[in-house]
Structure 1
Amino acid sequence: MDRIACMQSFVRAIEMNSFSAVAREQQTTQPTISKQIAALEKHLGVQLIIRSTTSLSLTDEGKKYYHYCQQILETVAEAEASLTGKEKATGILHLGCSVLFGQMQIVPRLQAFMRRYPDIKIDLMMTDNFVNIVEEGLDLIIRIGNHSDNSLISHRIGTTRRVAVATTKYFEQLGEPKTPEDLVHHNCIVYTRLSTGNEWHFQGNGDMIKVCVGGSFQTNSSVAIRAAVLSGLGIAIAPVWMFGDEIYQGDLKVVLQDYQPIPLPIYAVYRRSRFYPAKISCFIKFLAEEFQLDPWVSDYGAIAN
């Protein structure tokens, strides 16, 4: 029995709540993972996992052993890395991000990253749903906005500046809002995953201005927000990177520039550990450097006019 391999399968099974998911991750079969954990239980003489049709749960002995396995596996990784003094940037980086941000800000940069680190492969999961980094087996998540999960580490890599934007044709037909309060007379496209819902927040003259908006269309999809704005349906509060090219080309117009929507931080989020694989640190450093050169996501960038 390869005890380290069995420990790895045991820890990942609990993190992912699935033998099958671990099998896919390790490119093996579900029965193989099940046999590894059964071998551990036989070796230890205790039951570690209680299996049901929908979930896995730890016994009291399993909880204690799981804690020690995490420490052991981290120590093994540190020991292997210490042999060369510097861990080689290699392996599969399991990365998560939102759909449109991935399409527009992550994927276009991957070729440059892979040229720099040819031994790293990317497994990218894009979704606008909230993602549990442990359950999904991810190494790193790129998140927009603040969060309060103390079990994770957040490294700020940029800023999402937002604008009030619509097509020039829309404003020609319905006029431009001069103050945030004017938005109540417009068709506002609401992103339902925004933490403030249909209450849009602006900064102006040192004050916080909150306006409840409404309209004929709302959605939980950033892709749909972009499509709705470009079709002329109404006004949206959206990241400037979502429409940068169209703004500069004059197809879209930014309004209420004296009342800026509150910008949101961009974080690289990963699990707390005493050891971080080089593939994680290399990608964070690369993305932070890339973002600081891009005014649409840089901490120092300017709002498009």
Structure 2
Amino acid sequence: MDRLTAMEAFVAVAEAGSFTRAALRMRISTPMITLHVRRLEEHLAVRLFNRSTRRVDLTEEGRQFLSYARATLDAYATAELAMRPGSGVAGRVRVDAPASMGHAFIVPALAEFHHLHPGIILDLSLGDRGTFFRVDGFDLVLRTGEAQPGGWKTETLGSTRLICVASPDYLDRHGVPSGPDDLAQHRCILYASVEMPGGSPWTLLNQGRKVRVRPPAAFTFNDGAAILAAAREGLGIGQTLEMLAQEDIRAGRLVPLLPDMCQSRLSVVLMGAPDRIALPHVQAALTFLTDHIGWRLDPA
């Protein structure tokens, strides 16, 4: 058994959640990748996956082995790279970010990243899940206003705030709200989640105190970019991160509302997994995300 290939097959299945997708990624047949994983399980004398007709999930032993397998593959890639001076940093970096921030800031910078680090594969996961994002399985995560897991290296990029915005056309038709009570007479675009399918409350400041307001929902979305797009189209008032709305505000497509009530600041941080952050390719990705992207943030 080629143990290195078997570990690569195991990691591919774990990350893809499918033997078929893992086979496509490794450019081998599905039966062959299944054989590699089965032989690895026989060698370790444990079951690494729970298999069903619909999905493939890691067992507890599989979850424990995954971090070791990734570390082994990274160590081999680093050793191989050392034998080829001048080839640059190489490896796979798994990054997780909110969808709206990833599309606005990270995706437009990928061409520059590839030019600087052609040997690094950036595995970017984007999603607005409406809950604390899971950090397991990732090398770097981008977070806003969330509790930070213990042991992770944290790089604070700056701060932003939640603001209320609407299009000039909407305000011409419906008027400008002067306080939280006025929002009940407006069409509002709320962020929905599994926990709050009807829309999450808005946090505002009233005479220095935080208040939670749940205005009536004209639309709900589980995606921050969709909230911005709907607000630009004049469909209602939305609440979004100021860093995401700055260009629309400068261009006059959106107007900030209730400015005295939107002062609460949120930290924007990049976090690195404690067992991965020292790897050269992870460090290279962290440096790029920290220093080469204009996040439109205020100092922390």
**Structure 2: gaps of 5 or more residues:** none
Deviation at 1:201, TM superposition (A): 0.9
**Correspondence list, 1:153-192, <5 A:** 154-192=154-192
- Whole-angstrom distance in 1 between the partners of 2:227 and 2:36: 47
- Whole-angstrom distance in 2 between the partners of 1:70 and 1:251: 46
Contact 2:179 2:258 in 1 (8 A): yes
Query: Are 1:229 and 2:231 an aligned pair?
Result: yes
Q: How high is the TM-score relative to the length of structure 2?
A: 0.77
Contact 2:81 2:89 in 1 (8 A): no
What do residues 102-121 of structure 1 show as CA deviations (whole Å, max 9, x unaligned)?
Answer: 22211222223233323334
- Whole-angstrom distance in 1 between the partners of 2:240 and 2:182: 18
Counterpart for residue 25 of structure 1: 25
Counterpart for residue 262 of structure 2: 260
Counterpart for residue 119 of structure 1: 119
- Whole-angstrom distance in 1 between the partners of 2:202 and 2:235: 18
Deviation at 1:56, TM superposition (A): 4.2
Amino acid aligned to 1:167: S
- Whole-angstrom distance in 2 between the partners of 1:263 and 1:87: 43
What do residues 182-213 of structure 1 show as CA deviations (whole Å, max 9, x unaligned)?
Answer: 32232221111498843211235432122221
Q: How many residues align?
A: 294
Residues 298 and 110 of structure 1: is their aligned pair in 2 closer, same or farther, counting only changes over 3 Å?
A: farther
SS at match of 1:216: strand
Residues 152 and 223 of structure 1: is their aligned pair in 2 closer, same or farther, counting only changes over 3 Å?
A: same
Contact 1:164 1:261 in 2 (8 A): no
**Correspondence list, 1:60-75, <5 A:** 69=69
Contact 1:159 1:299 in 2 (8 A): yes
SS at match of 2:235: coil
- Whole-angstrom distance in 2 between the partners of 1:16 and 1:169: 45
Deviation at 1:146, TM superposition (A): 0.7
Contact 1:47 1:59 in 2 (8 A): no
- Whole-angstrom distance in 2 between the partners of 1:164 and 1:98: 19
- Whole-angstrom distance in 2 between the partners of 1:193 and 1:261: 24
**Correspondence list, 1:90-239, <5 A:** 90-129=90-129, 139-147=139-147, 149-150=149-150, 154-193=154-193, 197-239=199-241
SS at match of 1:172: helix
Residues 40 and 233 of structure 1: is their aligned pair in 2 closer, same or farther, counting only changes over 3 Å?
A: closer
Residues 87 and 214 of structure 1: is their aligned pair in 2 closer, same or farther, counting only changes over 3 Å?
A: farther
Contact 2:202 2:212 in 1 (8 A): yes
Residues 264 and 31 of structure 1: is their aligned pair in 2 closer, same or farther, counting only changes over 3 Å?
A: farther
Deviation at 1:268, TM superposition (A): 2.9
SS at match of 2:282: helix
Residues 204 and 287 of structure 1: is their aligned pair in 2 closer, same or farther, counting only changes over 3 Å?
A: farther
Deviation at 1:165, TM superposition (A): 0.9
- Whole-angstrom distance in 1 between the partners of 2:94 and 2:58: 24
- Whole-angstrom distance in 2 between the partners of 1:78 and 1:181: 59
Counterpart for residue 243 of structure 2: 241
Contact 1:50 1:57 in 2 (8 A): yes
Instruction: Identify the match of residue 285 of structure 1 among 264, 284, 287.
Output: 287
SS at match of 2:38: helix
Contact 1:189 1:216 in 2 (8 A): yes
- Whole-angstrom distance in 1 between the partners of 2:74 and 2:90: 17
SS at match of 2:260: coil
CA RMSD for the aligned pairs? 3.8
What do residues 266-290 of structure 1 show as CA deviations (whole Å, max 9, x unaligned)?
Answer: 3334444156432322222222224
Amino acid aligned to 2:205: Q
Deviation at 1:216, TM superposition (A): 1.9
- Whole-angstrom distance in 2 between the partners of 1:32 and 1:140: 31
Deviation at 1:236, TM superposition (A): 1.1
SS at match of 1:288: helix
Residues 235 and 148 of structure 1: is their aligned pair in 2 closer, same or farther, counting only changes over 3 Å?
A: same
Counterpart for residue 303 of structure 1: none
Deviation at 1:84, TM superposition (A): 9.3
Contact 2:78 2:90 in 1 (8 A): no
- Whole-angstrom distance in 2 between the partners of 1:217 and 1:82: 54
